Structure 1
Amino acid sequence: MSAESLIARNFASAEIPQQLSSKPFLAALPELTAAAEESYDYCLSYTNGALSLDALKDEALTGVCSNFLTPAMQRRLRQPFKQQLLGKALGLKAQRMQRILDATAGLGTDAFLMAASGCEVTAIERSPLVFALLEDALLRAQLTGGSFAVIASRLTLQQDDFLSLDARQHQYDTVYLDPMFPAGRRKASAKKAMTLLQQILPAEDCPEQLLSHGLKCADKRVVVKRGRRSPPLAAREPSLQCKGSTNRFDVYLP
């Protein structure tokens, strides 16, 4: 039995916004009851209007959601993106909008930042659970209006497996990869969201395919997010690197 099969929802199906393409997935989850609570390890609920994931048997892992409206995100949005490590790795130019494929979207923070910089971003997430969290966050950004709605208009979500895309029909300037690896490869200080998602989701088991497929889909470059001391993805040395204190971005030129 997979971890994703041990998830219930703590809301009625009528509460799910009609705009969400993930509504059928959410509605199909069993509704949590007091009598059946011991049967589930995780629960989805609406907390302060946001779709959130809780570990029912670990109080430290609750309230995990995707949220583009936090003060921390607003601070990042005020910083010039082209001067940030990711912006440098993407090779953004002021005179031209990039088409970027975020092939491992996760909770979407990097995809939203890329869209905020003026790029047209397609974000793919293979897990229907994570996709539901991400889609809920994007809807809330759209409904907030103003600059958040403008940014959201540049971000297109797709629930799919990146490796299933036909490279001949999907060409982008840049493909961005931030693959999930087993929990043992990360420090104990990993963020709460990542810790919880690592419990539920399978790790990437084909890094070589991710990188090779990315190079087929990218016209200009593939950017891979890695821990500062982590080995290169698929043991393939990058063309160049942008290093920070904890992370780095490996750049591969086709």
Structure 2
Amino acid sequence: MEREQIERRARELTLPEGVELRFIDDGLALCADGMSLCEDFRELLPRLRHDRLGREMLVRAARVRGVEAPHAVDATAGLGEDSLLLAAAGFSVTLCENDPVIALLLADALRRAGNEPQLAGIVSRMRLVEADSVEVLAGMDDAPDVVYLDPMFPGRTKSAAVKKKFQLLHHLEAPCADEDALMDAALAAGPRRVVVKRPVKAPVLAGVRPSHSVAGKAVRFDVIVRR
């Protein structure tokens, strides 16, 4: 999507009171409560280095063997940072985002990243779909290799920067309300594995026990191996 298309779409969207979308420099920003949020994938470049990427918990959890060009569906794309990690690790990624404002912020982040030599090849493997991920998964002709779910309630994070980000996003979209439907759709799509991001002490999603987990201090990735 080109900047002109994004500007036009931003003017068409209906926003909650006190919230606006505007360009700051070349990036579309969500502004409210004296704060602004503009996703910039360049900030993730240190994590994309070859010597670090393989140690990312998500990459370890999603890795599938014997597949030359794996396909992942990020069913809860948000601002796309986890999808970027998967794409950097060699996945083609379908990003599903149902909220039109978040989807537009993500589209603009992808636009700008496509102009960065260090990111262009990575984001070329990322395809954004503005739709309900349950419907997207149900309508897929071919089973993805991985379905990734991140329905974590953001308010639990202790990072001030992340709190600021989610405080702004909460003006738009509440955390996932129907976790059962999301898990059912992920499993029904027939992937090799479903990967679920959870707070480290949270119960499993929708009562589905993982085959194994990759855990850190604050979060864990539950892996449900299907085939």
> Residues 162 and 129 of structure 1: is their aligned pair in 2 closer, same or farther, counting only changes over 3 Å?
same
Q: Is the 8 A contact 1:82 1:92 kept in 2?
A: no
Q: 1:195 offset after TM fit, Å?
A: 1.9
Matched, 1:126 2:98: yes
Distance 1:168 1:97 in 2: 17
Higher alpha-carbon deviation: 208-217 or 89-98: 89-98
The AA in structure 1 aligned to 2:29 is: S
SS in 2 for 1:83: coil
Q: Is the 8 A contact 2:197 2:221 kept in 1?
A: yes
Q: 1:1-254 counterparts in 2 under 5 A?
A: 17-18=3-4, 20=5, 25-29=9-13, 40-55=17-32, 58-59=33-34, 62-70=35-43, 73-78=44-49, 79-93=51-65, 96-144=68-116, 146-165=117-136, 166-167=138-139, 169-181=141-153, 183=155, 186-187=156-157, 189=159, 190-254=162-226
> Residues 173 and 196 of structure 1: is their aligned pair in 2 closer, same or farther, counting only changes over 3 Å?
same
The AA in structure 1 aligned to 2:125 is: R
TM-score (norm 1): 0.79
Q: Which has the higher contact order (CA 8 A, sep 6+)?
A: 2
SS in 2 for 1:194: helix
Structure 1 stretches of at least 4 aligned residues deviating more than 3 Å after TM superposition: 22-25, 92-95, 180-183, 187-190
Q: Is the 8 A contact 1:182 1:198 kept in 2?
A: no
Distance 1:30 1:105 in 2: 21
The AA in structure 2 aligned to 1:150 is: G
Distance 1:17 1:104 in 2: 24
Count of matched residue positions in the alignment of Structure 1 and Structure 2: 221
Q: How big is the alpha-carbon RMSD for the aligned residues of Structure 1 and Structure 2? A: 2.3
User: What does the per-residue CA deviation read over 1:81-104, in whole Å, with 9 as the maximum and x for residues that have no partner?
Assistant: 232211110124486221100111
Q: Which runs of 5+ in 1 are unaligned?
A: 1-15, 32-38
Among all aligned residue pairs of Structure 1 and Structure 2, give the percentage whose two residues are the same amino acid: 34
TM-score (norm 2): 0.88
